Amino acid sequence: MLLTSFYSVVVDAIEKTYIGRRTPMPVSLKDILGAFEFVSAGGMGEHQAFLCKQSGRIYWHSELSDDLDELPGDIDDSEKYVQIPNKRELDLGKPLVLDFAGQFLPDDFDEVRQIFSSRGAYARFKDLLDRRGALDHWYDFEAKAEERALRTWCDLNSIEVGDAHVG
């Protein structure tokens, strides 16, 4: 009897400290990546996506359209919902570009840094990559960095990812 009581206390403690924090069902990284791309495609705050930690459902919202999901009334409940980050929030903008340039375009690093000192940088950067035959390499580098960053974000937010790899 004493052992059974001890066991139930331990199980309750584990559920409250670990299991209760994880999403009850695995969430597809592909779905999270899609929401991440949606959020990153708009201006700051223009597009938002929220993951319900209980159901795994992603709610999509845009300031530009009423055709997306209606957000639940309790969307501000941080125990239940987490907002999907954008590229800037995960340092996947200029820092990632400079990391790539440092590793794979060291002779062009100063030019890349100059490109990113003014507006319209991504178009000029992609033109440079195209001239150097490195555009596909950049897309692969960027996709891997995004997947790593999102997996880390999921871990930090106690979100269980259900699929092995994206793409």
Q: Name residue 154's amino acid.
A: C
Q: Name residue 65's amino acid.
A: S
State both tokens at 77: 């409940």
Name the residue ranges covered by the structural domains of the chain.
21-86, 87-159
Angle of the 135-156 helix axis to the 94-104 helix axis, nearest 10: 130
DSSP 8-state assignment for residue 89: G
pTM, full prediction: 0.77
Q: CA-to-CA distance for 50 and 87, rounded, in angstroms?
A: 15
**Which mean pLDDT values do the consecutive 10-residue runs of the chain (167 residues) have?**
46 46 75 94 85 92 82 92 93 94 97 94 96 97 96 92 66
- How many Cβ atoms from other residues are within 10 Å of residue 90's Cβ? 19
Q: For position 64, what pLDDT does the model report?
A: 82
Judge whether 21 and 155 are in contact, CB under 8 Å. Answer: no
